[in-house]
Structure 1
């Protein structure tokens, strides 16, 4: 999970064995509010973004890599070493060149602050919808905000949330 945090990073790397990314919000009755609907389509394309956002499923590291959700998926034992080596390589380059390159890439690839603000405002409104409140209460009854394996069962739980 933690998709919005991942999406806000300049580069994203995933463990093949331990990664689970997703956007479960629609299953709860809202939409992503932390940049998921703004950043994700730029990475994976419109169709896959809709699959991720509307499907409310988890994606493993290999699928995330194939979709463009992450730059690379690596075996867990290699992940830290790869990222450390890349960070050291980048850090060895001229800071002005790095900043200029990032600014140019950011200019054409990042959503505007206004767009992000509109999404979080809409998310806040969606939290007040009666149907959303009903889904949140059902999630709390099923184990949300308690110790246990609830987060590992997100896709299953969301698919049957209002069944009696």
Structure 2
């Protein structure tokens, strides 16, 4: 069955009441939305003040720790610069005394050295002298090749044609 509705109001009043119902609904919805916005705004303002306080605490602690460690940082930078300078000097520096001893030990007894010229910039050693035999000169070349700091040995072929009392000139490139 259909529900019975008895409407004793005039149509104008009914329309007016319907409009009032819609207006009340829109008004209540608007008030609810404004209330939610106000509540979220208050929450966000509270969060902002908490976050600003936290940010100021963090920045103060960073400033304090920077000032506490500034001296250590300066010392570390000074040590790093010193290490860089030492590394640069070590690249240029050569321990010639050890290399000369090794070269001297590699020279056979049948070789007489007249001159040794060390050119540090080119990492080159020029040795001139007299070999009593070709085998002594070749032994000298082999001994020099076995040294770990020598890269290349140049002996002119014209010096290897003689058999005895060979005046030689050797050019050695170092690593």
Both proteins in one fold, TM over 0.5: no
Q: TM-score, with normalisation over the residues of structure 2?
A: 0.18
The structure where strand makes up a greater share of residues is 2
Q: Higher Cα Rg: structure 1 or 2? A: 2
Q: TM-score, with normalisation over the residues of structure 1?
A: 0.19
* Bigger relative contact order, structure 1 or 2 (CA pairs below 8 A, ≥6 apart): 1
